Chain A
Amino acid sequence: MSYLHTHLARVLALAGAHVALVALALIAAGAVALPLGVAAARRPRLGAWLLGGFGVVYTIPSLALLAVLVRFFGLGDGPVFIALVAYAQFMLVRNVVVGINGVDRAQIDAARGLGMSARQTLVRVELPQALGVMLGGVRVAAIAMIAIATLAGYVGGSGLGVLIFNGLTLHNQSMVVAGSLAIAALAILVDGGFRLLEARSFPGGRASA
Chain B
Amino acid sequence: MNGGAALRFVAASARYPGADRDAIAEIDLDVAPGEFVVLLGPSGCGKSTLLRTVNRLVALARGRIELDGADVAATDPVTLRRGIGYAIQAVGLFAHMSVARNVAVVPSLLGWEPARIAARVDELLALVRLDPARYRDRFPRALSGGEAQRVGVARALAAEPRVLLMDEPFGAVDAIVRTELQRELIDIVARLGTTTLFVTHDVEEALRLADRLVVMRDGRIEGQGTVEELLEAPASPYVRALLRADDPIDRAYFEHARSALRGSR
Answer yes or no: A and B touching, Cβ < 8 Å.
Answer: yes
List A residues at the B interface (Cβ < 8 Å): 104-117, 120, 124-125, 128-129, 202-205, 207
A129 to B92, CA, bound (A): 13
A203 to B98, CA, bound (A): 9
The answer to whether B94 touches A203, judged by C-beta atoms less than 8 angstroms apart, is no
Is B194 interfacial (CB 8 A cutoff)?
A: no
Do most interface residues of chain A lie in helix, strand or loop, or is the interface mixed? helix
The answer to whether B96 touches A109, judged by C-beta atoms less than 8 angstroms apart, is no
Query: Knowing A109-B92, A110-B88 touch, does A115 contact B97 (C-beta < 8 A)?
Result: no
Cβ 8 A contact of A114, one of B52, B79, B95, B155: B155
The answer to whether A106 touches B141, judged by C-beta atoms less than 8 angstroms apart, is no
The residue in B57, B79, B91, B97 that gathers the most chain A C-beta atoms within 10 A of its C-beta is B97
B53 to chain A, nearest CB (A): 12
The answer to whether B81 touches A113, judged by C-beta atoms less than 8 angstroms apart, is yes
The answer to whether A109 touches B139, judged by C-beta atoms less than 8 angstroms apart, is no
List B residues at the A interface (Cβ < 8 Å): 52, 55, 57, 78-84, 86, 88, 90-98, 105-106, 109, 139-142, 152, 155-156, 165
Cβ 8 A contact of B109, one of A106, A116, A205: A116
The answer to whether B57 touches A114, judged by C-beta atoms less than 8 angstroms apart, is no
Residues of B within 8 A of A120 (CB): 109
A203 to B94, CA, bound (A): 12
The answer to whether A203 touches B96, judged by C-beta atoms less than 8 angstroms apart, is yes
Cβ 8 A contact of A107, one of B52, B95, B109: B95
The answer to whether B78 touches A117, judged by C-beta atoms less than 8 angstroms apart, is yes
What are 11 A-B residue pairs whose CB atoms fall within 8 Å in the complex? A106-B92, A107-B92, A109-B57, A110-B94, A113-B55, A114-B155, A115-B79, A115-B80, A116-B78, A125-B94, A203-B98
